[in-house]
């Protein structure tokens, strides 16, 4: 569409003779009429009009159905629209110690991490979930067990929700890893998409497992799901749902206990509704929907 503004000129005048003043006033009144914008469309459908907008979309400020607004993460139709709540696990021992965690199962929730999980449970208490999916790794598993306490459906543990495998960096303190393995560590921190060990690119592999996780979750019967997992895989889930490549990995951050929300239409297309909500970490905030 091409739009052009019709310019208006407002003259400035003083000390005019009466005849000239009358003429100038007439010109001024002509010029001060409401500015207009003229638009034309080069599309085959013709110009976009207010009537067409009203027919196509609900002009209420709410999001409208987003057909072809993004790409389908499932590449097949879903039985119904879906809502997915992503939660990062609570604070762990290796978080606290500044260690590289990766897929290791040796890091467990701290007392503070358990309290964070309890805050998440309280914040989500009024929400209905058909199912809860979790990484089987201890720190996420324990968080999920706290969150899902009192719910009827059993927890479902998915290997596709495991954290990225970071090989020999796992368990090392960040300050030590930077000294002992400077090339690998700096690549992981500054260019993670190109971090590799023995020909394996952990982040690119994580993108593939994130897509697998989305398919497992979204093709499950039900309309509302809770997912509890780790920082890197949460980033990968968000990026893959939005069609972002591994190079955008560090453009998204999530806190321990942070909550993010997606909705998916029946074509499996994603819309991010909220990212890394943490109000419940500092108050008794409860999310209603």
User: Binding site membership for substrate: which residues?
Assistant: 88-95, 139
Which 3 state secondary structure label does DSSP give 159? helix
Contact 240, 207 (CB under 8 A): yes
Binding residues: 88-95, 139
What is the distance between the alpha carbons of residues 60 and 14, in angstroms, rounded to a whole number?
A: 48
Contact 148, 120 (CB under 8 A): no
21 φ/ψ angles, rounded to the nearest 5 degrees: -65, -40
Q: Do the bridges between strand 270-277 and strand 131-134 make them parallel or antiparallel, or are there none, so unpaired? A: unpaired
Catalytic-residue membership of 89? yes
Catalytic-residue membership of 118? no
Contact 100, 166 (CB under 8 A): yes
Token reading at 116: 């964070």
Annotated catalytic residue, options 97, 152, 153, 163: 163
Non-local CB neighbours of 120 within 8 Å, separated by 6+ positions: 87, 90, 143, 146, 147, 257, 259, 280
Which 3 state secondary structure label does DSSP give 239? helix
Annotated catalytic residue, options 54, 89, 152, 170: 89
What is the distance between the alpha carbons of residues 235 and 251, in angstroms, rounded to a whole number?
A: 9
Token reading at 193: 């998409």
Please give the torsion angle defined by the CA atoms of residues 133, 77, 125 and 242, in that order, rounded to the nearest 10 degrees. 80
Contact 90, 114 (CB under 8 A): yes
Q: Angle at Cα 199 formed by Cα 197 and Cα 203, nearest 5°? A: 65
Which residues are annotated as catalytic?
89, 163
């Amino acid at each position: 569409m091409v739009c052009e503004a019709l310019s208006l000129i407002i003259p400035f005048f003083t000390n005019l003779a009466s005849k000239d003043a009358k003429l100038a006033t007439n010109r001024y009144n002509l010029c001060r009429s409401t500015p207009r914008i003229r638009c034309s469309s080069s599309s085959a459908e013709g110009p976009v009009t207010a009537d067409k907008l009203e027919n196509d979309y609900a002009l209420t400020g709410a999001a409208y159905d987003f057909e072809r607004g993004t790409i389908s993460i499932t590449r097949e139709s879903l039985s119904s629209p879906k809502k997915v709540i992503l939660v990062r696990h609570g604070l762990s021992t290796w978080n606290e110690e500044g260690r590289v965690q990766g897929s290791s199962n040796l890091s467990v929730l701290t007392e503070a991490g358990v309290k964070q999980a309890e805050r998440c449970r309280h914040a989500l208490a009024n929400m209905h979930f058909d199912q809860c999916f979790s990484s089987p790794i201890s720190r996420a598993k324990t968080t999920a067990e706290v969150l899902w306490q009192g719910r009827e459906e059993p927890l479902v543990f998915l290997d596709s929700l495991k954290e990225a495998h970071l090989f020999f960096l796992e368990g090392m303190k960040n300050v030590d890893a930077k000294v002992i393995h400077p090339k690998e560590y700096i690549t992981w921190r500054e260019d993670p998409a190109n971090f590799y060990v023995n020909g394996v690119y952990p982040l690119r592999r994580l993108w593939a497992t994130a897509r697998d996780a989305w398919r497992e979750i979204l093709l499950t019967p039900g309309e509302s799901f809770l997912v509890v997992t780790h920082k890197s895989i949460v980033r990968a889930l968000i990026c893959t749902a939005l069609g972002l490549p591994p190079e955008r990995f560090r453009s998204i951050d999530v806190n321990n206990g942070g909550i993010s929300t997606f909705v998916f239409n029946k074509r499996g297309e994603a819309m991010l509704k909220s990212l890394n909500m943490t109000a419940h970490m500092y108050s008794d905030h409860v999310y209603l929907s």
